[in-house]
Amino acid sequence: LASRAFHPLDTIVRVGQVEVGGEQPPVIIAGPCSVESLEGILEIARAVKQAGAHMLRGGAFKPRSSPYSFQGLGELGLKYLARAREETGLPVVSEVMEIEALPMMVEYVDVLQIGARNMQNFPLLKAVGKTDKPVLLKRGLSATIEEWLMSAEYILSAGNPNVILCERGIRTFETYTRNTLDLNAVPVVRHLSHLPVIVDPSHGVGKWQYVTAMARAGIAAGAHGLIVEVHQNPAEALSDGQQSLTLENFANMMEEVQAIASAM
Ligand code: PEP
Ligand code: MN
């Protein structure tokens, strides 16, 4: 079902007024790694909207490598995201980590994010496939493109046609950057599948200094959008501050990305 052989025309995933895929202009999703406070998420939401973002991201349930790291605000974080949507009109994207949390997530979010660590959590994929929410499916840390598309297949075959793929970098021998952003995947996925594919330069490189360059590259490679981590004070962020753009850096990134998009 994910294959272009089955479905030659590009799928366009609609999230409220926003359309992702096909020949639509790139869709930019921006926001903090984790929702930390109401004031924080409102400040970020206003700023990214002003800079031209189309959706707001923010984790409420976080898959942290250490159990002692900040795990997210849980339902309170979802309430804060909903408040930010109310004020700005931006649809919200947040990660669902387990089936038990799905009924709650569906009440608050516009797009369900499946994180890299859950790309092959097949029961979770089937469960989001039974909802009517669009799904942002991140590529696993060590997943091949074929495995990633088969994970999309789980969601589609459960009855949900609205899957957005997200390249977020893979593990390689290189350790200078957090991951290696596999931009090869963008044209490959566009060739193999009709589903939209976006790029996450933040997790792809892991250092904010390189995020804008890879955001530009992702759009130039043909991605249907970007998901970018933005924080009002990255040095104090509770997660992924080292890869988060400031509000000002994000606004500059948007100008550069829009220049590339309009030249294509
Ligand atoms: C995130 O988006 O903050 C996240 C945890 O991403 P990934 O699952 O790609 O590591
Ligand atoms: Mn993050």
pLDDT tens digits, one per residue of 65-81: 999 999 999 999 999 99
Q: Give me the pLDDT at residue 17, please.
A: 96
Residue 194 in contact with ligand 1 by CB distance below 6 A = no
Closest residue (by CA) to atom 2 of ligand 1? 33
Closest residue (by CA) to atom 6 of ligand 1? 115
Residue 169 in contact with ligand 1 by CB distance below 6 A = no
Which of 33, 61, 81, 64 has its CA nearest to residue 200? Answer: 33
Q: Give me the pLDDT at residue 136, please.
A: 99
Identify the burial level of 174 via C-beta atoms within 10 angstroms of its C-beta, where 0-12 means exposed, 13-18 middle and 19 or more buried. Answer: exposed
pTM of the model: 0.98
- The alpha-carbon radius of gyration of the chain (Å, integer) is 17
Question: What distance in angstroms lies between residue 80's CA and the mean position of ligand 2's atoms?
Answer: 18
Closest residue (by CA) to atom 8 of ligand 1? 115
Residue 231 in contact with ligand 1 by CB distance below 6 A = no
pLDDT tens digits, one per residue of 161-205: 999 999 999 999 999 999 999 999 999 999 999 999 999 999 999
Residue 148's SS3 state is helix
Residue 93's SS3 state is strand
Tell me if 143 sits within 8 A of 168, measured CB to CB: no
Q: Give me the pLDDT at residue 244, please.
A: 98
Domains and CATH numbers, the chain: 13-169+186-263 (3.20.20.70)
ipTM of model: 0.99
pLDDT tens digits, one per residue of 18-56: 999 999 999 999 999 999 999 999 999 999 999 999 999
Average pLDDT of span 230-247: 98
Q: Give me the pLDDT at residue 39, please.
A: 98
Rounded Cα distance, 142 and 121, in Å: 14
Q: Burial code of 43-81, b = ≥16 C-beta within 10 A, e = fewer?
A: bbbebbbebebbbbbbbbbbeeeeeeeebbbeeebbbbb
Q: Which residues are within 5 Å of ligand 2 (an ion), measured at CB?
A: 33, 240
Percent of the chain with pLDDT strictly greater than 70: 100
